Amino acid sequence: MFFGAVQLGIMAACVVLFVPMAMAGWHLSRNKVLFFSGALFVSLAVCIHLIPYFPSVFPSSPTVLLQQDPTPCISLINEVNFHSNFDGFSWDFENKSRSFDCDFQKLSRIDVSDLLNGSWIVVAGDSQARLFVVSLLDLVLSLDEMESIQADLFKRHSNYHIVVEEIGMKLDFIWAPYATNLTHVITDFKRNNTYPDVLVMGSGLWHMLHFTNYSDYGVSLRFLRESLIPFLPVGSDSTRGFHLFWLGMPTLINRMLNTEEKRVKMTSEMCNLYDQELYKSKILRKDGGVFLLLDVENLSKKCGVDCSSDGMHYNGVVYEACVHVMLNALLIESHQKL
């Protein structure tokens, strides 16, 4: 009985996935066929879940599937656990997501190559964003390749550009420590009328340290939001093929911060005030904006004090988890946009 349901689910998933995808095309990756195998686990879970309720009408289940609200999964996507062991830290998606049939996964190198094949990714922000780029490249490049790019990648306060030929993936890191810098990045896209497939942005730490004025931070975020109004999901598919993520600020461990100035200005009260401005600015998806939050604050807090050397930058494992959160969100979203 269960086996039957699984087979039915697989068949339904094939119908549901392959037919509309082949017709609609998929904007992130050009390698559609291979991508399907990655997308399958999301739809399979949904299908197996639904089939028992629609035993005789599974050809019509595409409608049902398309009406599935993916929000429950998206809202659980930052739920990650960290474990420390003798040689460092590891992480995992929380079991809770499984009981909601979300089935988030750590994607393998091959899955990631399929998913990102042919896409253009832009990451703009401060050193947190740079660490995010390192973790992302770690997933698609070999150790040797990683070593050969380290020096360029870590040039202080500079941009970085790489094309990963094997998968035709283009990645830009744009040094943009303030929200006003991020607004300029958006303005440049508009001027060129070219947009990346995936855009990851984040800012706040520099403003907190050098201006320590949360309301001014709020103002700069609202300008950023305004620059993004053309991309707000008002129409049916106005953000199609343009996926935006907000790389949140990490949890700061005040006593570990490496300068007196930082310890004085970057208090937990100030962090809270900056957080409030982020929510008030409504740039996050859950507040009606365009960015899906990559919740670095929560992730880094869970990884804990031992996971950071300077109270601000965390071990690679935190950014690695963030990258997988983003990739799983991309899988869900591409699926949703059929």
Ligand X SMILES: *[C@@H]1O[C@H](CO)[C@@H](O)[C@H](O)[C@H]1NC(C)=O
Summarize as ranges the residues that interact with ligand X (CB under 6 A).
30-31, 34, 79, 95, 113-114, 117-118, 166-168, 175, 178, 180-181, 188-189, 192, 194, 213, 215-216, 219, 295, 298
Pairing of strands 292-294, 198-201: unpaired
Nearer to ligand X, 181 or 308 (CB): 181
CA–CA gap between residue 181 and residue 232 (Å, rounded) = 20
Nearer to ligand X, 48 or 278 (CB): 278
Q: Nearest residue by C-beta to ligand X?
A: 216
Residue-by-residue DSSP string for 200-241: EE---HHHHHHT--HHHHHHHHHHHHHHTGGGSTTSSSTTTT
CA–CA gap between residue 216 and residue 281 (Å, rounded) = 11
Nearer to ligand X, 28 or 64 (CB): 28
Nearer to ligand X, 192 or 236 (CB): 192
On whether the CB atoms of residues 188 and 195 are closer than 8 A, the answer is: no
The percent of the chain in helix, strand and coil, each rounded to the nearest 5, is 60, 15, 30
- In order of 29, 38, 129, 162, 310, the CA distances from 111 in angstroms are 12, 6, 23, 20, 33
Q: How far is the CB of 9 from ligand X (least distance, A)?
A: 21
Q: How far is the CB of 136 from ligand X (least distance, A)?
A: 16
* 12 phi/psi in degrees, rounded to 5: -60, -40
Q: How far is the CB of 117 from ligand X (least distance, A)?
A: 4
Q: How far is the CB of 312 from ligand X (least distance, A)?
A: 19
Of 11, 231, 15, 247, the closest CA to residue 129 belongs to 247
Burial of 236 (0-12, 13-18, 19+ CB in 10 A): exposed
Q: How far is the CB of 69 from ligand X (least distance, A)?
A: 19
Nearer to ligand X, 127 or 298 (CB): 298
Nearer to ligand X, 147 or 216 (CB): 216
On whether the CB atoms of residues 199 and 122 are closer than 8 A, the answer is: yes
Q: How far is the CB of 12 from ligand X (least distance, A)?
A: 26
Nearer to ligand X, 32 or 313 (CB): 32
Q: How far is the CB of 62 from ligand X (least distance, A)?
A: 25
Q: What's the half-sphere exposure (Cβ side, CA atoms, 13 Å) at 80?
A: 33
Pairing of strands 80-85, 88-93: antiparallel
Q: How far is the CB of 153 from ligand X (least distance, A)?
A: 17
Of 110, 50, 48, 104, the closest CA to residue 77 belongs to 104
Nearer to ligand X, 26 or 58 (CB): 26
